[in-house]
Amino acid sequence: MSATISFGVPETRRLARTLMGCAISYGGARLAALPEGYWALITTLVVVTQPSLTQALGTARDQVIGACIGSVVGVLGLIAIHHGASPLAVFAVALAPLAALTAKRPALRLACVTLVIVVLIPVGNGPPFQRPLHRVLEILIGATSAFIVAAILPNRALRTAHRCVADTLVSLGHLVGMQLSGAGDEAQRASLEARSAQAQQALDDALQEAEREHIIVPLQSRRSDAIDKAAPFLRRLHSDALFLGTALSNGQRDEHDERYRDIGPALQAPFEALADALSAPREDERKLERVRACVRNLKATLARNQSDGAGHDVARFVVSLIVTDLDALIAAIYPANASRAA
Distance (Å, whole) CA 241 – CA 60: 42
5 domain residue, yes or no: no
**Euclidean distance between the first and the last CA atom of the chain, given in angstroms as a whole number:** 52
Are 142 and 206 in the same domain? no
Q: Which of 152, 174, 190 is the last residue of a domain?
A: 152
| Residue 32 near residue 141 (C-beta atoms within 8 A) | yes
Name which residue leads in pLDDT, 285 or 225.
285
Distance of CA 146 to the CA centre of its chain: 19
Q: In which band, very low, low, confident or very high, does the pLDDT at 298 lie, cut at 50, 70 and 90? A: confident
Query: Coil, strand or helix: which one is 44?
Result: helix
| Residue 316 near residue 310 (C-beta atoms within 8 A) | yes
pLDDT in tens, 58-115: 777 888 888 889 888 988 988 888 888 888 898 999 999 999 998 988 888 888 888 8
pLDDT at 215 over 60: no
Are 170 and 53 in the same domain? no
**Range from 43-57, 117-131, 216-230 carrying the lowest mean pLDDT:** 216-230
208 domain residue, yes or no: yes
pLDDT in tens, 231-248: 999 999 999 999 888 877
Are 176 and 316 in the same domain? yes
Q: What is the pLDDT of residue 139?
A: 83
pLDDT in tens, 168-193: 999 999 998 888 877 767 888 889 99
6 domain residue, yes or no: no
Q: What is the pLDDT of residue 249?
A: 74
Q: Which of 152, 178, 210 is the last residue of a domain?
A: 152
120 domain residue, yes or no: yes
Q: What is the pLDDT of residue 275?
A: 92
Are 227 and 295 in the same domain? yes
Query: Which one, of 149, 154, 141, 152, lies nearest residue 21 by Cα?
Result: 149
Domain count, the chain: 2
Give the mean model confidence (pLDDT) for residues 213-238.
71
2 CB-contact burial (10 Å; exposed 0-12 / middle 13-18 / buried 19+): exposed
Are 168 and 315 in the same domain? yes
Are 186 and 145 in the same domain? no
Distance (Å, whole) CA 266 – CA 176: 11
Enclosing domain of residue 22: 11-152
- The half-sphere exposure of 187 on its side-chain side, counting CA atoms within 13 A, is 0
Distance (Å, whole) CA 191 – CA 125: 65
Query: Which one, of 340, 202, 226, lies nearest residue 283 by Cα?
Result: 226
Q: What is the pLDDT of residue 308?
A: 55
Are 115 and 178 in the same domain? no
86 CB-contact burial (10 Å; exposed 0-12 / middle 13-18 / buried 19+): exposed
132 domain residue, yes or no: yes
Are 72 and 186 in the same domain? no
Q: What is the pLDDT of residue 285?
A: 87
216 domain residue, yes or no: yes
pLDDT at 221 over 60: no
Are 87 and 233 in the same domain? no
Q: What is the pLDDT of residue 45?
A: 84
327 domain residue, yes or no: yes
Q: Which of 152, 183, 210 is the last residue of a domain?
A: 152
Are 99 and 172 in the same domain? no
What single DSSP character describes residue 124?
A: T
Mean model confidence pLDDT for the chain: 80
Query: Which one, of 145, 148, 149, 126, lies nearest residue 137 by Cα?
Result: 145
2 domain residue, yes or no: no
Are 182 and 116 in the same domain? no
Are 326 and 288 in the same domain? yes
